[in-house]
Amino acid sequence: MARIVQKFGGTSVGSVERIIRVADRVIAEADAGHEVIVVVSAMGKTTDQLVTLANELTVSPSAREMDMLLSTGEQVTTSLLAMALQNRGMSAASITGWQAGIQTESVPGNARIVNIDTTRLEQLLASGTIAIVAGFQGISQEQDITTLGRGGSDTTAVALAAALHADRCDIYTDVPGVFTTDPRVVKDARKLQRISYDEMLELAHLGAGVLHPRAVEFAKNYQIPLTVRSSMTFEEGTRIEEEVKMENRSVVRGIAFEDQITRMTLFRMPRKEKNLSAVFSTLARHRINVDIIIQSVTSENSSNLSFSVKDSDVEEASRILEQEQERLHFEKMEAESGLAKVSIVGSGMISNPGVAAEMFDKLAQEDIDIKMVSTSEIKVSTVIEKQHMQKATQALHNCFQLGEEMPVEGVPVTHT
């Protein structure tokens, strides 16, 4: 007997018919003798509809009240799925995030899980009851309901798997697994049978929407075997784990991309280390995430500082930096929008230093100008014009032969 956490996303529970199909999946695991904990998202576009209702009342709804409002979407799904299971003769109970013992920071809209008291869940499992937990939510120390931000139900599922010492966590979605890139953009994108935590984490951070980075971090930190699979079919999904046998001889395993990127540049800043610290500390205090950073020396005493942010953060970042211009000592600021980030990811890049050059050469052949570059041991990211994003993705997918099946090497690669 195993202990299994199953998570079903909004598309998977988007109608009564689909909830019944989910119930079939849950019953199959329970009938096999497993203990089952199910985490669900809100049905379909429910969260978007709730946001629209709030915006019809006020242009600036309270963050606390938005958490209270949005948390109701998942609660509807938990109740309906519990009813579907009970109608089939199963013992099932729906519970909210706070009833499941999920304790979070006091950060409305984007809280992080700090602790999980599993007492209630263990009692349900011991009684043979299937626990249906509302994803995306928890409760703060001040006893306020909080939500976990984008991808929060994924995070709920993996965090519960860790806290309950589950044998595995299955993430059911509307795609059959993790692909080499988005198959809606590249038609010959190929599903991966396995991928390492590190590779998946990079892809998630870089725009791949299959899993949220925080969920992958939980899985890696607690060594939870994670599988992404379709709720619509019974085909094998993609397994995410620490040790992976190389599926093929490709150095690059996947390509991620995201648009709505803006490059901000501060011109002629004095060349002092404390100035760099002051700029990014100021932005961090206002929860503005900065990605790629480039400093270019313009003279002995000054430099230009460029960094990328999401389009949605540009207005706030500009306002803050303008307010702090005198303290930060830059002469002027510019923002270039209409950009995108395209990244290649693969653990094999560690021992293949020519990969970045091959990427840059391919983009040059396609007349795609590279505006910014960022690298790590297992990824290379480039910022380019948004209009070239799909073209670049397809070209790189072809360049690194990601659509082709290759012989398995059979050599395990351990990531530490």
Q: Rounded to an integer, what distance in angstroms lies between the CA atom of residue 201 and that of residue 178? A: 12
Residue 106 and residue 142 in contact, taking contact as beta carbons nearer than 8 Å = yes
Q: Rounded to an integer, what distance in angstroms lies between the CA atom of residue 374 and that of residue 383? A: 9
Place of tokens 């932005």: 283
**Angle at CA 308, nearest 5°, toward 303 and 310?**
150
Residue 149: C-alpha distances to residues 50, 104, 203, 318, 361 (Å): 15, 12, 18, 24, 38
Intervals of CATH 3.40.1160.10 along the chain: 3-174
Intervals of CATH 3.30.2130.10 along the chain: 255-399
Instruction: Kindly state the tokens that stand for 205.
Output: 């951070």
Q: What is the pLDDT along the chain (416 residues), one digit of tens a residue?
A: 899 999 999 999 999 999 999 999 999 999 999 999 999 999 999 999 999 999 999 999 999 999 999 999 999 999 999 999 999 999 999 999 999 999 999 999 989 999 999 999 999 999 999 999 999 999 999 999 999 988 899 999 999 999 999 999 999 998 899 999 999 999 999 999 999 999 999 999 898 888 888 899 999 999 999 999 999 888 899 999 886 555 445 789 999 999 999 999 999 988 776 878 899 999 999 889 999 999 988 877 889 999 999 999 999 999 999 999 999 889 999 999 999 999 999 988 887 888 999 999 999 999 999 999 999 989 999 999 999 999 999 999 999 999 876 544 433 333 32
The secondary element (H helix, E strand) that includes residue 325 is helix 325-328
CATH number of 255-399: 3.30.2130.10
Q: Rounded to an integer, what distance in angstroms lies between the CA atom of residue 277 and that of residue 273? A: 7
Sign of the dihedral through C-alpha 386, 390, 394, 400: positive
What is the CATH superfamily name and number for domain 3-174?
Answer: Acetylglutamate kinase-like (3.40.1160.10)
Residue 336 phi/psi, 5° resolution?
-115, 110
